[in-house]
């Protein structure tokens, strides 16, 4: 039996395909299906997402969202009105 879309997408993540567009091309799937698959895998806890910020937070370095969940650059008041930015997705380690 051939692998389904989710397995294909997971394999692409594991292989390090850097963008969803490239992933869709590699899998021969509609990009919207790949996007939905990734979102589903995120909800299922198989992929982790993290919004990235390149600069450092003004309120002090210790408050960086990359250092502490929900604080720093990622605080809602800082992000308010901000457009969608860089989102990093990575394979989560799941306990069977």
Selection from 58, 41, 42 nearest residue 50 by Cα: 42
Residue among 70, 76, 77, 93 that touches other proteins (CB under 8 A) = 93
# chain residues binding other proteins, by CB under 8 A:
61
Q: Which of residues 50-79 bind other proteins (CB under 8 A)?
A: 50, 52-64, 66-68, 72, 78
Decide if 12 contacts 26 (C-beta within 8 A).
yes
Residues at the site binding other proteins, with contacts judged by CB under 8 A? 3-7, 12-21, 23, 29-33, 35-40, 43-44, 46, 50, 52-64, 66-68, 72, 78, 81-91, 93
């Amino acid at each position: 039996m051939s692998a389904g879309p989710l397995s294909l997408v997971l394999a692409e993540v594991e292989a390090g395909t850097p963008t969803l567009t490239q992933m869709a091309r590699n899998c021969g799937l509609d990009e919207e299906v790949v996007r939905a698959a990734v979102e589903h895998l995120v909800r299922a806890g198989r992929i982790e997402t993290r919004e990235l910020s390149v600069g450092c937070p003004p309120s002090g370095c210790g408050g960086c969202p990359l250092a502490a969940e929900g604080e720093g650059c990622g605080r809602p008041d800082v992000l308010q009105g901000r457009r969608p930015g860089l989102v990093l997705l990575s394979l989560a380690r799941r306990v069977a």
